Amino acid sequence: MKLGEVSNVQISTVSSGALALDIALGVGGFPRGRIVEIYGPESSGKTTVALHAIAEVQRQGGQAAFIDAEHALDPVYAAKLGVNIDELLLSQPDTGEQALEIAEALVRSGAVDIIVVDSVAALVPKAEIEGEMGDSHVGLQARLMSQALRKLSGAINKSKTIAIFINQLREKVGVMFGNPETTPGGRALKFYASVRLDVRKAESIKVGNDILGSKTKIKVVKNKVAPPFKVAEVDIMYGEGISKEGSILDIGSEIDVVQKSGAWYSFNEERLGQGRENSKVFLKENPHIASQIETKVREYFSLNPGSVPEAEPVVDPEQDEEPAFDLE
């Protein structure tokens, strides 16, 4: 088949749930049918970004799955971010092989629109779990990830599933110059990922002496669907997640959709508030105004995230009719 015969070559996307990140990604959100890696230091907001993506998919009627290899998902926090935890498929596997087999089965079934693996560093090979504490297992995890991604990449593209892999950071020993940081799990994920996000906490958000959240920088270090190296700055508020109102104010004032005079913010000659935090509170209490500003911002950047249609199952002729294992 010739590429020109394809009816629609435009990349279908789902909003990340953060306006600033949608703009930085260049296509209005996470691309469907692609692999995304989110990495960064501890408590930087990696899982928060992934949960917002799940909430957006569910809001559009899609099905989501979360493979919790770290056994650390907080359902109460996820619900506050907008995730429908009653409809979320959750797996807490014992081994890395089990986690990736479940991921493959879900992707091939076409039943899910987004799948999150948290995290690659916690995908422990079975041989390591069954071995003694001091045993050496060189390259086992890298080999496991390499094999899994070879099997997954084609199925992910055909089923139009967004596959998000959350990863941690490690230090390379003996590096004198350059960046000593690296991600566990070998190099395969770096190659197979269409989008790689580096999430870093920048500074704390304070009101008086109380720390309410943190300003977070999300850098798009790899992007196969748009120009890379763009940076999104978002507010991650503790117990609430990414502040939608903060992104709307910052980007709106940059492109003059929201007017800023001194400390005052205004929209269509209506005062929003004095100071950024007060204006955020006003937009939260008046969502119709926030929606108007967001619509104008999306029009300015030509962002129109795609809807989530039902995924079609991927038929594997070599696969037996009966599943190799029970998902329940």
87 neighbors 21 (Cβ within 8 angstroms): no
Cα–Cα dist 156/32, whole Å: 9
Residues 277 and 168 placed together within one structural domain of the fold? no
Residue 165 lies in a domain: yes
Q: Among residues 80, 85, 88, which one has the least CA distance to residue 238?
A: 80
Q: Does 15 appear as a known binding residue? A: no
- Let me know whether 194 and 228 are in one domain: yes
Strand partners, 181: 171
Specify whether 278 is located in the same domain as 225: no
Mean pLDDT of the chain: 90
Residue 51: name the closest of 28, 84, 5, 9 by CA.
84
29/299 Cα distance (integer angstroms): 15
In the chain, the number of structural domains is: 2
**Does residue 28 fall inside a structural domain?**
yes
Are 232 and 302 part of one and the same domain? no
pLDDT band at 316 (very low <50, low <70, confident <90, very high): low
2 is in an annotated binding site: no
290 and 165, same domain (yes or no): no
* 224, 295: one domain: no
Q: Output the domain CATH number for residue 279.
A: 3.30.250.10
Q: Is the confidence at residue 170, as pLDDT, over 60?
A: yes
Contact 327, 52 (CB under 8 A): no
* 8 confidence band (pLDDT: 50, 70, 90): low
Looking at the domain assignment, is residue 318 inside a domain?
Answer: no
Is 182 a known ligand-binding residue?
A: no
Which residue, 240, 261, 276, sits at the end of a domain?
Answer: 240
- Provide the residue range defining the domain that includes 119: 12-126+139-240
pLDDT at 180: 93
230 is in an annotated binding site: no
Q: What is the pLDDT of residue 3?
A: 72
Q: Say which CATH number the domain at 88 has.
A: 3.40.50.300
Q: What is the pLDDT of residues 105-129, one digit of tens each?
A: 999 999 999 999 999 999 999 999 9
Q: Give the number of other CB atoms < 10 A from CB of residue 132.
A: 6
pLDDT at residue 302 tops 90: no
Residue 260 shares a structural domain with residue 233: no
Q: Is residue 4 part of a domain?
A: no
Looking at the fold, whether 235 and 275 belong to one and the same domain comes out as no
Q: What is the pLDDT of residues 57-86, one digit of tens each?
A: 999 999 999 999 999 999 999 999 999 999
Residue 316 lies in a domain: no
> Residue 248 falls within a domain, yes or no?
yes
Angle at 150 between CA 99 and CA 231, to 5 degrees: 80
Residues 154 and 297 in one domain: no
> What is the pTM for the complete model shown?
0.89
Answer yes or no: is pLDDT of 9 > 90: no
Q: Is 47 annotated as a binding residue?
A: yes
pLDDT bracket for residue 326 (50, 70, 90): very low
Domain annotation covers residue 88: yes
Residue 40, annotated ligand binder?
yes
- Say whether both 228 and 301 belong to one domain: no
Per residue in 235-292, pLDDT tens?
Answer: 999 999 999 999 999 999 999 999 999 999 999 889 999 999 899 999 999 999 999 9
